[in-house]
């Protein structure tokens, strides 16, 4: 196994271990599409029970999707990593039935802190929201 293959396998194992215990993301129907070191792609369909009073997807659920993609990407290196701060920009609304794609990418990963961007788009490729997250490594290995 090459170094690249080993790193990808570690990322996949870390994601599967974390998501197998993540009941919140599972209850929202999030699906892991791809993971690699410092990257993650997840999908979620907007259900009727995710709509707010304006019949648009609740912003907190967009944030939840982005946060899960952020978590998968920042834990893809192996050490247990948690979010330290996030900011979200909502650009366009998501609507019932939309298929959302969250794509997380590492901008910088240091010994303890990392910086990640997450883009959420719909099935038409329109960018709906952007999340920037700062991560903190705890020093423990993920189980």
Q: What is the pLDDT of residues 111-135, one digit of tens each?
A: 999 999 999 999 999 999 999 999 9
The residue behind tokens 């303890």 is 112
CA distances from 24 to 13, 37, 89, 127 (A): 19, 23, 22, 24
Asked whether the beta carbons of 21 and 68 are under 8 A apart, the reply is no
Output the pLDDT for position 143.
53
- The larger pLDDT score, comparing residue 1 to residue 16, is at 16
Higher pLDDT pick, 142 / 134: 134
Q: In what order do the strands lie in the sheet with 79-90?
A: 31-36, 39-45, 99-109, 113-121, 127-141, 79-90
Q: Would you state the structure tokens that stand for residue 7, as one six-digit string?
A: 């790193």
The pLDDT assigned to 142 comes to 55
* Residue whose tokens read 């709906």: 128
For 26-83, write each residue's pLDDT tens digit: 999 999 999 999 999 999 999 999 999 999 999 999 999 999 999 999 999 999 999 9
Residues 51, 52, 57, 60: is their CA dihedral positive or negative?
negative
Residue range 91-110, pLDDT digits in tens: 999 999 999 999 999 999 99
The SS3 assignment for 65 reads helix
For the chain, state the CA radius of gyration. 15
Q: What is the DSSP string of 55-77?
A: SBB-HHHHHHHHHHHHHHHHTTT
Q: What is the CATH number of domain 3-141?
A: 3.10.129.10
């Amino acid at each position: 196994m090459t170094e690249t293959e080993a790193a990808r396998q570690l990322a996949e194992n870390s994601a599967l271990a974390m998501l197998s215990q993540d009941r919140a993301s599972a209850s929202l129907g999030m699906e892991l599409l791809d993971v690699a070191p410092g990257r993650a792609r997840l999908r979620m369909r907007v259900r009727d029970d995710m709509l707010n009073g304006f019949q648009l997807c609740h912003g907190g659920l967009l944030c939840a999707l982005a946060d899960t993609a952020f978590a998968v990407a920042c834990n893809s290196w192996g050490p247990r990593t948690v979010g330290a701060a996030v900011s979200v920009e909502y650009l366009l609304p998501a609507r019932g039935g939309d298929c959302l794609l969250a794509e997380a990418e590492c901008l910088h990963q240091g010994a303890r802190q990392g910086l990640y961007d997450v883009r959420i788009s719909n099935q038409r490729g329109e960018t709906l929201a952007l999340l920037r997250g700062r991560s903190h490594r705890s020093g423990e290995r993920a189980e």
